[in-house]
Chains A and B, each alone.
Chain A
């Protein structure tokens, strides 16, 4: 008898602990008040569904109220890819979404379930969320990266610049110690000229791209290799109807000798929603 009671208390405690330790992993806020199932497409194949509030919903899966952690980089990479895939699926289904960063988890409290917490958030932040959704409705994010071949561009500059031409002549005729010093001079000069040119190109391309897009964010350029240098790295928020125009403008740049453009997208507008 006593044993039975004990058992019951134990079970009750366990249930309480479980509901307290329960959380919802958030992918994005979507422009729909629909209660929908998106299938087993979440992190590690979790069932993904929506928690609606009036005309908004949050795309989630059920999880423990603790962050996703792993020492294995491959696992983390897979999770992040899963996360992005779900955001994309929601984006296709609902049209407009505000993506949340990886590992955003809402947990319950003593007597409030995680779902209630989420609805409270949607209710409290409703106007703000709506406003942000309105701003990106019908728009998508595109990545624009422009590269040049420094060798080719450098040669081009060297051919036209009188001072560089003279230096090249001197290097051939002077003794080797002096030639070495002059080579330094030539390198410095060429570097300066290339920076000038890069600056001009950046301004020119930026202005042309700006015309076709809603918003631009200038991202850090990355190092590629000796043969290709990233000149600019932009995230653009583009009206879906204007993406063709942007593509055509970029094609013109891509056709220029020594230049190359990478144009990616459309993506959900990750870079243009303030959270995460």
Chain B
């Protein structure tokens, strides 16, 4: 039997959604930043972009606070970060991966 606690479910789903919104926000921010650095934006455009992103930040923080999901958002993001770290690490350091596999071998007596 799967025991679903309604409160728990809300935290989990909301945490996941907000984490995704944050990631999209980060992507937008990077894009906005690139355009600004590329010089394709006028000063008032930069100002508008900056303000919009700032409002988004405030809104996200507010929702997290009101719903009490700051912790669960953070753990979703950390979980994702760890997955990515692991994958990158395997790609960048194949030797370390092999070492790990060797370590796992148990002594055969």
Please, which residue of chain A has its CB at the minimum distance from the CB of B108?
A121
Which of A176-184, A203-211, A240-248, A251-259 forms part of the interface with chain B?
A: A176-184
Q: Is the CB of A117 within 8 A of B50?
A: no
Q: Is the CB of B50 within 8 A of A100?
A: no
Q: How far, in Å, is A126 (CB) from chain B's closest CB?
A: 14
Q: How many A-B residue pairs have CB under 8 A?
A: 48
Q: Is the CB of A177 within 8 A of B29?
A: no
Residues of B within 8 Å of A275, CB to CB, are 105-107
Q: Is the CB of B46 within 8 A of A274?
A: no
Interface size, A (range): 20 to 34
Q: How far, in Å, is B97 (CB) from chain A's closest CB?
A: 13
Residues of B within 8 Å of A117, CB to CB, are 109
Please, which residue of chain B has its CB at the minimum distance from the CB of A105?
B109
User: Is B76 among interface residues, defined by CB-CB distance under 8 A?
Assistant: no
Residues of B within 8 Å of A185, CB to CB, are 33, 36-37
User: Is A45 among interface residues, defined by CB-CB distance under 8 A?
Assistant: no
Q: Is the CB of A118 within 8 A of B50?
A: no
Which of B29, B43, B102, B109 is within 8 Å of A274, CB to CB?
Answer: B102
User: Is B16 among interface residues, defined by CB-CB distance under 8 A?
Assistant: no
Q: Is the interface of B mostly helix, strand, loop or mixed?
A: helix
Task: Kindly state the separation between the CA atoms of A21 and B89 in the bound complex, as whole angstroms.
Answer: 43
Task: Kindly state the separation between the CA atoms of A180 and B109 in the bound complex, as whole angstroms.
Answer: 64
Please, which residue of chain B has its CB at the minimum distance from the CB of A175?
B47
Residues of A within 8 Å of B51, CB to CB, are 176-177, 180
Q: Is the CB of B46 within 8 A of A177?
A: yes
Q: Is the CB of A121 within 8 A of B33?
A: no
Task: Kindly state the separation between the CA atoms of A185 and B51 in the bound complex, as whole angstroms.
Answer: 15
User: Is B48 among interface residues, defined by CB-CB distance under 8 A?
Assistant: yes
User: Is B14 among interface residues, defined by CB-CB distance under 8 A?
Assistant: no
Q: How far, in Å, is A108 (CB) from chain B's closest CB?
A: 11
Residues of A within 8 Å of B102, CB to CB, are 274
Task: Kindly state the separation between the CA atoms of A271 and B93 in the bound complex, as whole angstroms.
Answer: 19
Q: Which residues of A contact B (CB under 8 A)?
A: 100-101, 104, 106, 117-118, 121, 175-181, 184-185, 188, 274-276
Give 10 pairs: A residue, B residue, CB < 8 Å, sorted on A. A104-B106, A176-B51, A177-B47, A177-B50, A178-B47, A178-B50, A180-B54, A181-B33, A184-B29, A184-B33
